A and B are shown apart, each in its own frame.
Chain A
Amino acid sequence: MKMIKNDKWENNKCGLCCTKIINLGVSRGKFEILRNVNLHFHCGELTAIIGPNGAGKTTLLKAILGEIPHTGELIFLDSNGRKTNKPLMGYVPQNLEFDKSSPVSVLDFFACAYSNRPVWLIRARKIREKAIQSLARVKAEHLVDRRIGALSGGELQRVLLALALDPLPNILLLDEPVSGIDRNGLQLFYKTVSELRENHDLSIILVSHDLDMVARYADHVVFINNKTVECFGTPEEVFNNDKVVETFGMLLLNRNRDNDLHNKENEL
């Protein structure tokens, strides 16, 4: 049993391909948003980006996506150390701003994203099955015929995640919404994401506002403040960094205290 698991691990997860960000900077007009960002992501890892509001977390994601112009370099190396200019990227936006009254079903949404057959004319069974398969990956297959405007925040996030995973990307970029998702939804989301990391060969980069979830699921944490990366390391390292404690203050203290209580309970 263990052998099989090992094989699977070796086949699906190489841990060698990586993304290097060298000296990245973003400016809009004369206003500098990010400078001197140097980071290194490996596949099979979940890296969380934290920081105060307006620090440039979403901007960093959009720069990696290539949506906004930036200075510096982004290098993607595949498992053989070859440079690939265009890695496949999956993206789950923070707030999917769209017209909630729009008559677009989840199936339409999937079909228009990965097929050229006009969705207004053709209903192909193959596309439907493919959409259901993708949705099943995030336990959302029952949503296939719902209107996307009628989904709850958590349901929409899972649908977007399923879409971002089809085709399976090299880099998965997730921008977690600030609000609109209940605790259970968030838990399910993080669970799904961390399962992905274990079963597939991809780097996950996540902008998060939930320090609790970050502590529990992230492999590395990037702390962005004052337009640059102020701290990078494991969750333990970052959460004990003075600058991070200063920024998140009470939130972090509460978390540490809760953890202590939790540990004591376990000891008892």
Chain B
Amino acid sequence: MRILSIWYDLVDMLLPFEWTSYTFMKNALLAVLLVTPAFGLLGTMVVNNRLSFFSDAIGHSALTGIAIGTIAGIGRPLWSMLIFSVVLSIVVLIVKRANTASTDTVIGVFSSTAVALGIVLLSGSGGFNKYSVYLIGDLLDVTHVDLLMLAIMLFAVILLWLLIFNKLLIASINKSLAKSRGIHAELYDYIFTITIALIVTVSIQWVGILVISSLLILPAAASRNISQNIRQYHIYSVAIAVISGLTGLILSYFWGTASGATIVLISAIFYVLTFILKLVAC
């Protein structure tokens, strides 16, 4: 944990304020700097592929993952949440490819079923209130192990984006076109969808089930308003995600509000601003 003590010293030196003197704030600050860039990057493709509703469904399915974990007697339900979200995303893709109903209907069916199952299981075992922390999340409760996990997650997202982004992009523009160029569009569909499921699930305990998909979608949606190409799209999206994250965290400290939701509100302000900019430019 040598790196962490360097981070603590750095914060003390650069930000000598009252709110940064607490270790939990230093941890939360680092967590925000690790989570938001990953969300800013992934969000661009979530919005491009119209997966907003899907990421919402994955967030909600976490409830069922928690319930299954609780019943199976796993102390920390992260593993059952991860497995459940990956299974759910694969099932959604398979049913989607069968072409029996429109994508939003398929996702809606699974999302509702998963949430209902989660509520039934949790309320039946009498443990619902104990897990309500997952609904709004708690950024101030980040442990050292969590920080390590978030760092690995950010690294994995950047690596993935370096390796397969071009193929994801062309598959998102048109599947037939991608196929004619020898790109296995379905494979990349699976890789991306499962990645989203994993990242959303890992981040849920800090951001909260209710607002997690907003954090994924808002920075990219705001960036889209003012971008002309993919590079601008990414730069603005990551910048908006990080700035909203830091501002939201600090404000939530002073206001005594939930940090996840505060961050989302700040990104929403960015969306409104960029939307106005777009209108003015037109």
Decide whether A and B assemble into one complex: yes
Q: Chain A interface (Cβ within 8 Å of chain B)?
A: 62, 65-67, 89-91, 93, 96-99, 101-105, 107-109, 111-121, 123, 145, 147-148, 160, 163-164, 173
* CB of B96 closer than 8 Å to a CB of A: no
B177→A115 contact, CB < 8 A: no
A119→B224 contact, CB < 8 A: no
Give the residues in chain B near A90, CB-CB below 8 Å. 180
* CB of B234 closer than 8 Å to a CB of A: yes
Q: List 27 A-B contacts (CB under 8 A).
A: A65-B180, A67-B176, A67-B179, A89-B180, A91-B176, A91-B180, A98-B173, A102-B48, A102-B173, A103-B227, A103-B230, A103-B232, A107-B229, A108-B231, A112-B165, A113-B166, A113-B181, A118-B165, A119-B230, A120-B161, A120-B230, A120-B233, A121-B234, A145-B228, A148-B173, A163-B177, A173-B180
Give the residues in chain A near B177, CB-CB below 8 Å. 91, 93, 96, 160, 163
B176→A105 contact, CB < 8 A: no
Give the residues in chain B near A93, CB-CB below 8 Å. 174, 176-177
* CB of B151 closer than 8 Å to a CB of A: no
Complex Cα gap A68–B233 (Å): 34
Given contacts A118-B165, A119-B169, contact A105 B228 (CB under 8 A): yes
> Which residue of chain B has its CB nearest to the CB of A96?
B174
Bitwise interface map of B from 208 to 240 toward A, beta carbon under 8 Å scored 1, else 0: 000000000000000110011111111000000
A96, A114, A120 pick with most chain B CB within 10 angstroms: A120
> Which residue of chain B has its CB nearest to the CB of A91?
B180
B138 to A: closest C-beta gap in Å: 32
Give the residues in chain B near A66, CB-CB below 8 Å. 179
B229→A112 contact, CB < 8 A: no
Give the residues in chain B near A121, CB-CB below 8 Å. 162, 231, 234
Complex Cα gap A112–B230 (Å): 10
Q: Given A65, A102, A120, which contacts B234 in the complex, CB threshold below 8 Å? A: A120
Give the residues in chain A near B170, CB-CB below 8 Å. 109, 112-113
Give the residues in chain B near A147, CB-CB below 8 Å. 228-229
A104→B180 contact, CB < 8 A: no
B230→A116 contact, CB < 8 A: no
A103→B169 contact, CB < 8 A: no
Q: Given B180, B224, B234, which contacts A101 in the complex, CB threshold below 8 Å? A: B224
B174→A98 contact, CB < 8 A: yes
> Which residue of chain B has its CB nearest to the CB of A102?
B48
B176, B231, B234 pick with most chain A CB within 10 angstroms: B176
Given contacts A67-B176, A98-B173, A104-B173, contact A118 B166 (CB under 8 A): yes
Q: 10 other contacts beyond A102-B224, A118-B166, with CB at 8 A cut-off? A: A67-B180, A90-B180, A93-B174, A93-B177, A98-B174, A103-B228, A104-B169, A104-B173, A107-B229, A108-B169
* CB of B97 closer than 8 Å to a CB of A: no
Question: Which of B177-192 touch A at CB < 8 Å?
Answer: 177, 179-181
Give the residues in chain A near B223, CB-CB below 8 Å. 103
Complex Cα gap A115–B48 (Å): 20
Give the residues in chain B near A118, CB-CB below 8 Å. 161-162, 165-166
> Which residue of chain A has its CB nearest to the CB of B278?
A101
